[in-house]
Amino acid sequence: MVEKQSNNNFALYILMFNMFIAMAGIGLIIPIMPQFLGTFGVAGKVLGFLIAIFSFAQFIFSPVAGNMSDRHGRKKIIIIGLFIYGAAQLAFSLSTHLWMLFVARFFSGLGAAFIVPPMMAFVADITTLEKRGKGMGLLGASMSLGFMIGPGIGGFLSNISLLFPFYFAAGASIFAALLSIFILPNPAPSISAKKLQEKSENLFKQLKRSTKTPYFIMLIVMFVFSFGLANYQSTISLYVDQKYGYTPSQIAVLITVGGFVGVIIQTFVINPLFKRFGEMRVILVNLVVAALSMSAVLLVDLFWTILLVATIFSTATSLLRPAVNTLVSKLAGEEQGFAAGMMNAYMSLGNMVGPALAGSIFDYNIALPYFVGTAILLICFGITFTWAKRNSTLLASTRTN
């Protein structure tokens, strides 16, 4: 029993490292994107659509990845995803035409789809219900740490060359893939033949089947939440660049500090919060905090006040994702791969629509994405609060002491 627990802990640490490497690869290109896209003569709208096509690929392939990880094991799918993501980062840096950027970003999204859902399902495989929140929180902390350190690395490496951060991201992802080949365990997923047969459905049938799951409303919440969140994430670097003339290094600080606080919260605070208040209360409170802090970005103009508001927003979102992921995982039973795939699909759908809209309205008025994002998050709160009241018994069954 002790040996099994030790192996599970080792697997979790490797997953955390892989997630950190993959997310650092995403985070380190954020501060340089305005300058990089400027070399192509484009701005907000194109950045929004580049993020959208990344999410479109995730939307299509996340259920496929969850399905494949249930059939063939989490390890193989994670490794494939890391290799694809690394190659796509390199292709993005070598692009010479705008259409090539979109193709490279599509394959980046495909790679991410093969990384995130299998990792989430892997954590569910090796944790009990009582420790599920802690496991998801630690995986989320490694994600936040990657985003936190990534922009700082990107801002520093951009001094060497504007393209060098992309090379670094590609190398880091391929390194993580090689590491996984040799030392990541490969436990067999626990799923019945009947459930595997159900997973042979295509994407649209899986989406239809997701509407009959007990956690369907949480999938909708993830979609709506991701839609609102994407308005902020896809435009904040452009907003401070255009309004205040912030440098890549200053943008990196805004993202890094918020990410650092998120790491602390997810590592040391999130599990006690889940045990004391339950995932649903954490979700409700932080939807409101995220909405208020998003609109507050427009009310401040000093660097330290923008940094404070951005940090509050980052802290709220750092609590939201693992809370929703943990609640869905508890309600999913043995369908961990399917649930994780659908969570990532609905999240990707929100991430796809949000940046495309945000980029377009940003070019019209740089404040509009934040008004729209705030409204979306408040709508999300209303949906969640209503569902929680109607399903208090179901939610009570997920609580652990």
**pLDDT at residue 213 tops 80:** yes
Is pLDDT above 90 for 305?
yes
What is the predicted pLDDT for the residue at 401?
A: 47
- Of the listed ranges 117-121, 151-155, 199-203, 369-373, the least confidently predicted one is 199-203
| Res 45: pLDDT | 67
Mean pLDDT of 137-165: 78
CA dihedral over 155, 161, 163, 167, signed as positive or negative: negative
The predicted model gives 214-226 an average pLDDT of 84
**Coil/strand/helix, residue 401:** coil
- Give me the pLDDT at residue 193, please: 47
Percent of the chain beyond pLDDT 90?
15
73 torsion bin: left (phi>0), alpha (psi -120 to 50), beta (else) = left
Total count of residues recorded for the chain? 401
Q: What pLDDT score was predicted for residue 364?
A: 83
Q: Nearest to residue 249, comparing CAs of 314, 166, 154, 165?
A: 154
According to the model, what pLDDT value does residue 56 have?
A: 84
Q: Which of 7-11, 95-99, 235-239, 281-285 has the highest mean pLDDT?
A: 281-285
C-alpha closest to that of 384 among 231, 270, 273, 228 = 228
Please indicate, yes or no, whether the overall pTM of this predicted structure exceeds 0.75.
Answer: no
Q: Which domains does the chain have, with CATH numbers?
A: 1-184 (1.20.1250.20), 202-400 (1.20.1250.20)
Q: For residue 367, is pLDDT > 50?
A: yes
Q: Which of 56-60, 227-231, 342-346 has the lowest mean pLDDT?
A: 227-231
The string of DSSP codes covering 110-164 is HHHHTTHHHHHHHHHHHS-HHHHHHHHHHHHHHHHHHHHHHHHHHHHHTTT-SSH
pLDDT of residue 49: 76
Average pLDDT, the chain: 81
Residue owning tokens 């039973």: 333
Kindly state the helix (H) or strand (E) to which residue 292 belongs, with its residue range. Answer: helix 270-296
Q: Which of 56, 328, 342 is nearest to 199 (CA)?
A: 342
Nearest to 110 by CA among 86, 75, 85: 85
> Angle at Cα 269 formed by Cα 266 and Cα 275, nearest 5°?
110
Distance (Å, whole) CA 73 – CA 200: 16
Tell whether the model's pLDDT for residue 52 goes beyond 80. Answer: no
Cα–Cα distance for residue pair 75/78, rounded to 1 Å: 5
Could you give the C-alpha distances from 235 to 107, 302, 320, 323, 378, in angstroms and in order? 22, 18, 20, 25, 19
